[in-house]
Amino acid sequence: MTVRKKYNALGRGLDALLSTEAVRTAGSSTINEIPLDQIEPNADQPRSLFDEDALKELAVSIHEIGIIQPITLRQIAENRFQIIAGERRWRASQMAGLKSIPAYIRTIDDESVMEMALVENIQREDLNAIEIALAYEHLLEQTGMTQEKVSERVGKSRTAIANYLRLLKLPAQVQMALQKKEIDMGHARALLALNSPSLQLKVFKEILKNGWSVRKVEEIAQHLKNGDDIEDGKKKIVAKPQLPEEFNQLKDRLSSFLQTKVQMTCSSKGKGKISIPFNNADELERIMMIFDQIKQQ
């Protein structure tokens, strides 16, 4: 079973920013083959983390069938180009041993580069919450755009943008955990209901220690706002039944095997369920390939 990605590679927001007309330069055409060693990443690229396993899988695909979607570049000097969109494809092409890559060459000003890279990645949902928040903050500070203007450009509501920006007010430890996906954005938003950074950190440590759900963090936060301490708040919430130790061991083994965090619930009668979360289509396809391999054995 293979999961195929079905999304518009550039998205409506980026289409509005990128001209589809050919850029008239010496010997150029709509799509150009550009040597990989003449290309450099954009320092303002909003995505800073690249999954190594996903890159290797993409490299194998590129080695077998080549680049399907050209990357987008701008020329910054003679025989030097900077990536606007497609750094992941550029990195995977290097791993695949390619010498050149098909690319669109666009003429844009510096202020537009961050905007276009942000739109492309948000459309593909490749960024984690902190990367998106930092990119929004950069757009607001560097271009002077209002939140309303950013909202129009990236196709997201002003409320959504404001919620991302609020994440940058959390303690650094919480932001790093969110970036590493040790907690969800729902957890982070629940912590924002608490005005004290020290209290946010205390609840954050309880989340990591006890694996609290977003709902439970919201309830704890409400009790804390009402004047309770954490222990009193915990006592007032009906705790979920804890998994038997042997079930925890099985859950850990399954998580290790699938290389993702597996969730498991179990009632006192031994009835329960297993859920396998995934962050994007690439990760889902990787998980399904593992099941396909088991089935063939």
Encoded amino acid at 294, one letter = I
Catalytic annotation present for 87: yes
pLDDT class of 27 with cuts at 50, 70, 90 = very low
Contacts of 153 (CB under 8 A, 6+ apart): 13, 17, 115, 119, 145
User: Model confidence over 148-168: pLDDT tens digits?
Assistant: 888 887 778 899 899 999 998
Buried/exposed code over 187-220 (b: 16+ C-beta within 10 A; e: otherwise):
bbbbbbebeeeebbbebbebbeeeebbbebbbbb
Distance CA 267, CA 73 (A): 55
pLDDT class of 239 with cuts at 50, 70, 90 = very low
- The first and second tokens of residue 57, run together, are 């899988």
Q: From the candidates 21, 52, 64, 87, give the one annotated as an active-site residue.
A: 87
Mean pLDDT, all residues of the chain: 76
Strands 71-77 and 80-85 come out as antiparallel
Give the model's pLDDT for residue 233.
58
Q: What percent of the chain has pLDDT over 70?
A: 74
HSE-up (13 A, CA, CB side) for residue 132: 25
Give the model's pLDDT for residue 199.
86
Distance CA 244, CA 238 (A): 18
User: Model confidence over 43-68: pLDDT tens digits?
Assistant: 766 666 778 888 898 999 888 877 87
Question: Which of 69-73, 110-114, 254-258, 264-268 comes out lowest in average pLDDT?
Answer: 110-114
Give the model's pLDDT for residue 98.
92
Encoded amino acid at 39, one letter = I
DSSP letter for 71, please. Answer: E
- The first and second tokens of residue 262, run together, are 């597996």
Report the Cα 139 to chain-centroid distance in Å: 18
Where does the chain show beta strands of DSSP type E? 32-35, 39-40, 71-77, 80-85, 100-105, 263-266, 272-275
Helices (H) and strands (E) in the chain, counts: 14, 7
Give the model's pLDDT for residue 97.
93
Query: What does each C-alpha distance from 75 to 25, 46, 58, 99, 296 come to in angstroms?
Result: 10, 20, 26, 18, 49
Encoded amino acid at 121, one letter = N
User: What predicted TM-score, i.e. pTM, was given to this entire model?
Assistant: 0.48
DSSP letter for 115, please. Answer: H
Give the sign of the dihedral formed by CA 211, CA 244, CA 252, CA 279.
negative
Predicted confidence (pLDDT) at residue 69 exceeds the cutoff of 80: no
